[in-house]
Structure 1
Amino acid sequence: MKLVSFRVKQFRSVENSGWINISDVTAFIGTNESGKTNLLVPLWKLNPAKDGEINAIQDYPRDEYHIIRALKNKPIFIEAKFHLSERVNNKISELTGLPKVQVEHVIVKRAFDGEYFVEFPEAKGPIEPDVRFIRELINQTIQDIQGVSSTIKADEALKENILRVLDSSLVELGSMKEDTLDLQQMNRIKENLQGIDLSKAAKRSTISPRFGQLIDEIDAKIESLDIPELEENEEVNQYIVERLPSFVYYSNYGNLDSEIYLPHVIQNMNRVDLGVKEAAKARTLKVLFNFVKLKPQEILELGEDFPQGASPSQEQIEIVAEKKKERDVLLQSASTQLTSRFREWWKQGDYRFRFQADGNHFRIWVSDDKRPEDIELEARSTGLQWFLSFYLVFLVESQSSHEGSILLLDEPGNSLHPIAQRDLSAFFDNLSRTNQILYTTHSPFMVDPNHLDRVKAVYIDSAGSTAVSANLRAGEGQVKQTQSIYPVHAALGLSVSDTLLQGCLSVIVEGPSDQYYLSAIKNVLISKGLILPNREIVFIPAGGVKGIAAVVSIITGKDQTLPFVLLDGDGPGLSSARKLRDSIFESSPDHVVLVSEVIGLVGAEVEDLFSIDFLADIVTRMLPRPADLEEDFSDIIQPGIPIVSQIETYASSNGIELQKGWKVELAQRTKTQLLKGRTVKNIDDNCLEIWSRLFKQLLEE
């Protein structure tokens, strides 16, 4: 089961987070006290791998504590949507009788009293048989039986009775006012057919088997209808809850010490009353010894010497010496293994580890090319200590007790150097092949500018609750929100600086949604050989038209070569284009490109670069669907009108609230859909022609 999205409600500082879409790696950025931890913890408590008990005093919202405490049925605080594996999907389809496409996704909810609730959002229930289908089934049976010639005298009477019953069933079907048959009506049809007693038919009868086939087909339809409602199907609910992935929450990574007292290690590994810090260290030591296949008790025993004052024989001396030699070989072998495996992950130096045991003490020494002398681990950088501890815990536990778990990391890598934090981001990419990862951070070096679709901004809204948005500029009027997304600005600045040094082609766009669209279009055009850029094309979001001039001044090359600017053809875009062409771009007005001029559609925005049917289908799947909705968005879409205005009008007319960041979510969904191989093959030729024309204009400087 793979986590697709989740929603937190009435948990600590979170009133209602809204549905948060999740990738293999998802980052939550925000200021201190914005509530980032309060998004991870309830997800952990959905199905914790360890600890994670619901605590009323800590977890209920303080202003509603007295209300929730008095409720008999406690409110749901976490909802998580999962995509089922093929094996689980097949089993649920088998248990429910529903087609697999209706049970591909499941939503699991948990209330403060610990109770679970299971829901299949796409399930429509069993399909009621069509009256016309049943009529055709009976008519075909009549034709088959009428065409049977039999030499058995008893068959003639049976044939007459069967045809009479089938005719009466057709009459009853003709009186039906609905187009489909419910369970009660199907049972009535079956009762009518069971008026024929086939037990008295001749053994060699040729009519009886054909009539029995009809009854079997009617039974199959009844069986598909006669299944319990999904919410009441305890077997299905239990099956799903038992297969939930466990959630592993880490906020303390238990840095290793350089000198370890083995008797304490052996004792602490079995204790449950340790403090948080000591428990974290005990866990790290346990995985260290597991990783290098050493047992603390064995290391201790192999190093045992003679009691003080003892007079050992030569044979005893040789036995003790042999044991110590074996211990040295074990430690050397384990040291070599750790050194070799650690180099695969850590790129900040060529480190070598050496384990040493001296009596009851176990030491870890570290050396590298720049500092070849052995130095205790504790005397090396905090970053190295942290990364080694982190590496051991996650590499070992993700392959054993945490296999398939979803990892929730609170502020990982704070003590690492910025370059090492980037390595940690690469570590996450590798680890996410087996474990989805959600983490919180303040650091721009933990934000991958090539994957901004992974980043969610967390901030305090005007009501004082924790809010989260995929739109990194959602709630921009609030100072706290601007502070929350500062790491993204910094990450983008670092990314831009790096790429500028490599001589990329910079194109400034209004916002992140434009960046998603154009990056995806670029990849499609390159894959089809329609453009062959000789340098990287980078789309830099300016945070709206007001920020364009500032970004231009930052990234203009030393030779004063101006970047390109791509603007929407709406009012703000047209106004900005005029100002830029009359000032900064007076010498290069063709570097200011309007989408409306490229497409030839008044008011066109970047969304209008796509086929209207292609985008309308994605919008239809993205928007909530009220129960009284009569027409989907794709049913009312009109060509020749900018699609954004149509989306806003449609939502307003149908009482659909467009969430903050909806344009960014639409861009992310479009990018994902567009880059699927099957979709790329079917891109509209007119779209390809427009895209090619736009990019050739950008490339022809």
Structure 2
Amino acid sequence: MILISAEVGPFRSINSAQNVEIDPDVTVLVGMNEAGKTVFLKALHKSQDALGKEKFNPTDDYPRKDYTAYMKRHAAKPEAATTLRYRLNQDEIDQINNEFKTSISEGFEFSIIHRYNNGKTIGIHVDEKPVINVLAGNAGLSSDATKAIKSCNTLREVVAQLNEIDLNETDTNFLAELEARTTETDWGSVIQYEIWEFLSEKVPKFLYFSDYDLLPGKLNLKDLAQRVANVKADPSNADRHIQPKHQAVLALLRMADVDMDDFSGTTGYEELKAKVEAVSISLTDQVLEFWKQNEDLEVEVDIRSDTNDEAPFNDGPNLYLRIKNRRHRGVTTPFDQRSRGFIWFFSFLVWFDSVQQQLDPSGAPKHNQLVLLLDEPGLALHALAQADFLRYIDDLAKDHQAIYTTHSPFMVNSNRLHQVRVVEDKSPGGTIVSDNLSGSDARTIFPLQAALGWSVAQNLFIASKNLLVEGPSELAYLLTASALLEACGEESLSSDVTIVPVGGLSNVATFVSLLGANGLEVSVLHDFSGKPEQKLDGLIQQKLLAKKSVFNVSQFRDASKFGQNTVPSDIEDLLPIGIYLEYFNKTYMKELKGAPILESELPESDRIVHRIERALQAREIKVRPSGGFNHYAVAAAFSTAPPETLDEATRLRFGALFKSINDVFAS
């Protein structure tokens, strides 16, 4: 089961509900400071936190400007804080169909509305007719009972119908069992209730983690024990007694199977230290699987008293955590004073493993039971270390969906922009969460632009096979089309070919010289104006480029003339006109004022972008001051939310293009 969408709001800075599509693996929330990224994560966390401690509180959580008005209706009509939608996997669907005799289909979805009074509304629809058909086939039922059952659409109707006719002994027993099922719930659909009871324990819970949850360098255990006792006596004020650092140490002790009573003097020092050290060593080994910046680090644990320290550390035993650096002859420093990135890794693993252990003390793995909410992870890491951390998140996402916030370009996979959601604080609407990259503030999407730029710069001297294209639009269309063809089992662009946008044909010579000087293979794909490109011909004559390595889009537009120059063409002309218009109209919905451009009003021309520009002129619409429109904005919309598949003709065109490029690099 996975979370597929989350509608959040009104909640704190989110004044109006924001419906956000959640990626099956990793979702990245990108935005400026104070935009509302943490607010979104907190709303999810309060919906169903892993340990069942978080609750919605209108005083803290409802948008303050509307709080007074809302509280007048809160008791009678509590609003929704979040609406979460989930999709079942095929194994879960098969299990439900086998157990409940239903016929739910692939991709079955249901929703949970979490309200400000901490109540839930379940949105689930299951047809009871297949269940009734199975019941009607029970052996021993009379013909009258069978006929009555078949005439019904719900189990409650079956009960009502059977109570109206004469029944034999088998019929009576059957009715008694069915009445017992119907009296267990006041839901209209008994089957929907029973399936929800089955699913309720499987719904993924949320685990939130931030810099506030880091382990401290030392903590007084007597003080910690007193705080735990205070929480038991005054649970309503638990947050006042137990701070995040206390929670982190409790998590470490819990993993080590150490109870607070063990510090009363009945358990020996060596035994306590051995338990905690064993866990620390195991966690350090896990961290170093992904921590490649310094693999000579390890965590040391000590438990001792120090009457000369300041209060409260001078009273009773203290837990000390230190980092040893074997690279510097075993020098140790307090845990909270060195290598913030390492501390984050270690602290997260402590908290993550502790929560899993609390959910299932037996230690048996429960895949996909958690959705990980990581607030600004890797913030203290070096840029290259953040790349290591992305691998770690991908590893977590094999079993648990992950949603994380960032404003670092190095925490964004430039080849997975479809996972990005931009978060902005706009007046007067408050926090807005969207997957529309093209309509976002330049400051908000700067990390994405920087990530793309870093990818290009990095690949210039690392990738051995480079396909030069004119701009980022080509990059977006080619990557997206390649992924769609690969999903269909058809030929896609080889994974070892790097697409490099060069900013126009005028820059090709420079890039060819740079790449060629490094002994790298180069191919070029460019738009076709209808006549030979002199710059490219010059490169071929100088033997900086092989003629067979230069392609233009027109050569793949007409299936009957693949490989031949045809009519003037841009990369957009490889897509169906209707598909391109759909994304154009979606991108410029506001400027078009709800009146999309139709294919029937496009003037005749070879290039779709020129046809649209002329249609805009005919309507006297300017979507930007300089005229025309931003081609990349449409490309970004296409790559962010691509169609599920491409039609056969389009797949044929892109397939021929990818095969030609792959063949050049393979020869």
Superposition TM-score, scaled by structure 1 size: 0.63
Shift of 1:692: 4.4
Contact 1:520–1:671 (8 Å) recurs in 2: no
Alignment match of 2:483 (pick from 515, 520, 523): 520
Alignment match of 1:453 (pick from 399, 418, 421): 418
Q: Distance in 1 between matches of 2:413 and 2:298?
A: 29
Shift of 1:100: 1.6
Shift of 1:537: 1.4
Aligned amino acid, residue 324 of structure 2? S
Q: Describe the superposition over 1:455-481 as per-residue Cα deviations: whole angstroms up to 9, x where unpaired.
A: 212224575443333343x215xxxx2
User: Aligned ranges for residues 295-444 of structure 1 at < 5 Å?
Assistant: 295=259, 297-298=261-262, 301=265, 323=268, 333=278, 336-349=281-294, 350-359=296-305, 360-376=317-333, 377-401=335-359, 404-444=369-409
Q: Across the two proteins, how many residue pairs are aligned to each other?
A: 546
Contact 1:28–1:36 (8 Å) recurs in 2: yes
Match of 1:69 in 2: 71
Contact 1:409–1:438 (8 Å) recurs in 2: yes
Q: Distance in 2 between matches of 1:373 and 1:452?
A: 43
CA RMSD of aligned residues (A): 5.4
Please state if 1:690 is matched with 2:649.
no
Alignment match of 1:114 (pick from 107, 111, 118): 118
Query: Residues 327 and 115 (structure 1 numbering): CA distance in 2 closer, same or farther, change over 3 Å?
Result: closer
Larger Rg: 1
Shift of 1:505: 0.5
Please state if 1:265 is matched with 2:228.
no
Aligned amino acid, residue 100 of structure 1? I
Query: Residues 493 and 59 (structure 1 numbering): CA distance in 2 closer, same or farther, change over 3 Å?
Result: same
Query: Residues 367 and 9 (structure 1 numbering): CA distance in 2 closer, same or farther, change over 3 Å?
Result: closer
Contact 1:24–1:432 (8 Å) recurs in 2: yes
Match of 1:315 in 2: none
Q: Distance in 2 between matches of 1:505 and 1:345?
A: 29
Contact 1:26–1:439 (8 Å) recurs in 2: yes
Contact 1:97–1:126 (8 Å) recurs in 2: no
Contact 1:5–1:81 (8 Å) recurs in 2: yes
Shift of 1:339: 4.1
Query: Residues 128 and 470 (structure 1 numbering): CA distance in 2 closer, same or farther, change over 3 Å?
Result: same
Q: Distance in 1 between matches of 2:467 and 2:417?
A: 17
Please state if 1:104 is matched with 2:104.
no
Q: Distance in 1 between matches of 2:574 and 2:633?
A: 20
Aligned amino acid, residue 285 of structure 1? V
Over the matched positions of the two proteins, sequence identity in percent amounts to 23
Q: Describe the superposition over 1:369-400 as per-residue Cα deviations: whole angstroms up to 9, x where unpaired.
A: 32223312234233332332122212332454
Q: Describe the superposition over 1:590-627 as per-residue Cα deviations: whole angstroms up to 9, x where unpaired.
A: 888554541228797757758999x99x99xx9xxxxx
Q: Describe the superposition over 1:169-191 as per-residue Cα deviations: whole angstroms up to 9, x where unpaired.
A: 9xxxxxxxxxx99869xx99x99
Query: Residues 672 and 390 (structure 1 numbering): CA distance in 2 closer, same or farther, change over 3 Å?
Result: farther
Shift of 1:104: 1.7
Q: Distance in 2 between matches of 1:23 and 1:645?
A: 37
Q: Distance in 2 between matches of 1:370 and 1:672?
A: 51
Shift of 1:80: 1.6
Shift of 1:348: 2.1
Shift of 1:78: 1.8
Q: Distance in 1 between matches of 2:551 and 2:221?
A: 69
Shift of 1:489: 1.8
Shift of 1:411: 1.6
Shift of 1:52: 2.9
Shift of 1:421: 2.4
Contact 1:609–1:691 (8 Å) recurs in 2: no
Shift of 1:84: 2.2
Q: Distance in 1 between matches of 2:266 and 2:290?
A: 32
Structure 1 segments unaligned to the other structure (5+ residues): 131-161, 170-179, 200-211, 213-218, 304-322, 568-572, 623-640, 650-659
User: Aligned ranges for residues 285-296 of structure 1 at < 5 Å?
Assistant: 285-295=249-259
Q: Distance in 2 between matches of 1:606 and 1:392?
A: 50
Contact 1:81–1:105 (8 Å) recurs in 2: yes
Contact 1:8–1:16 (8 Å) recurs in 2: yes
Aligned amino acid, residue 514 of structure 2? K
Query: Residues 579 and 392 (structure 1 numbering): CA distance in 2 closer, same or farther, change over 3 Å?
Result: farther
Q: Describe the superposition over 1:288-330 as per-residue Cα deviations: whole angstroms up to 9, x where unpaired.
A: 2233444565366378xxxxxxxxxxxxxxxxxxx55556655
Q: Distance in 2 between matches of 1:368 and 1:583?
A: 56
Query: Residues 18 and 362 (structure 1 numbering): CA distance in 2 closer, same or farther, change over 3 Å?
Result: closer
Contact 1:580–1:592 (8 Å) recurs in 2: no
Shift of 1:262: 2.6
Aligned amino acid, residue 417 of structure 2? L
Match of 1:630 in 2: none
SS at match of 2:265: helix
Q: Distance in 2 between matches of 1:469 and 1:673?
A: 23
Match of 2:5 in 1: 5
Aligned amino acid, residue 445 of structure 2? I
Query: Residues 374 and 117 (structure 1 numbering): CA distance in 2 closer, same or farther, change over 3 Å?
Result: same
Q: Distance in 2 between matches of 1:264 and 1:686?
A: 70
Contact 1:230–1:236 (8 Å) recurs in 2: no
Query: For structure 1, which segment, 108-117 or 336-345, has the greater mean C-alpha deviation from structure 2 after superposition?
Result: 336-345
Contact 1:262–1:361 (8 Å) recurs in 2: yes
Structure 2 segments unaligned to the other structure (5+ residues): 134-142, 172-177, 232-236, 306-316, 361-365, 560-566, 587-605, 616-631
Shift of 1:116: 2.2
Shift of 1:255: 2.6
Q: Describe the superposition over 1:134-171 as per-residue Cα deviations: whole angstroms up to 9, x where unpaired.
A: xxxxxxxxxxxxxxxxxxxxxxxxxxxx9xx9xxx9xx
Shift of 1:25: 1.5
Q: Distance in 2 between matches of 1:128 and 1:238?
A: 17
Q: Describe the superposition over 1:569-606 as per-residue Cα deviations: whole angstroms up to 9, x where unpaired.
A: xxxx77xx689947798756988855454122879775
Aligned amino acid, residue 86 of structure 2? F
Q: Distance in 2 between matches of 1:4 and 1:387?
A: 27
Alignment match of 2:514 (pick from 535, 548, 558): 558
SS at match of 2:27: strand
Q: Distance in 2 between matches of 1:665 and 1:118?
A: 33
Q: Describe the superposition over 1:260-311 as per-residue Cα deviations: whole angstroms up to 9, x where unpaired.
A: 32322333344435657962111211222233444565366378xxxxxxxx
Contact 1:5–1:20 (8 Å) recurs in 2: yes
Q: Describe the superposition over 1:382-438 as per-residue Cα deviations: whole angstroms up to 9, x where unpaired.
A: 333233212221233245438612121222222222233222222212222332111
Q: Distance in 2 between matches of 1:103 and 1:35?
A: 31
Aligned amino acid, residue 330 of structure 2? E
Q: Distance in 2 between matches of 1:388 and 1:277?
A: 24
Contact 1:598–1:694 (8 Å) recurs in 2: no
SS at match of 1:449: coil
Contact 2:93–2:106 (8 Å) recurs in 1: no
Shift of 1:27: 0.8
Query: Residues 597 and 339 (structure 1 numbering): CA distance in 2 closer, same or farther, change over 3 Å?
Result: closer
Contact 1:365–1:374 (8 Å) recurs in 2: no
Aligned amino acid, residue 457 of structure 1? V
Contact 1:580–1:586 (8 Å) recurs in 2: no
Match of 1:246 in 2: 205
User: Aligned ranges for residues 470-485 of structure 1 at < 5 Å?
Assistant: 470-472=435-437, 474-476=438-440, 481-485=441-445
Aligned amino acid, residue 445 of structure 1? F
Match of 1:78 in 2: 82
Shift of 1:29: 0.2
Contact 2:373–2:404 (8 Å) recurs in 1: yes
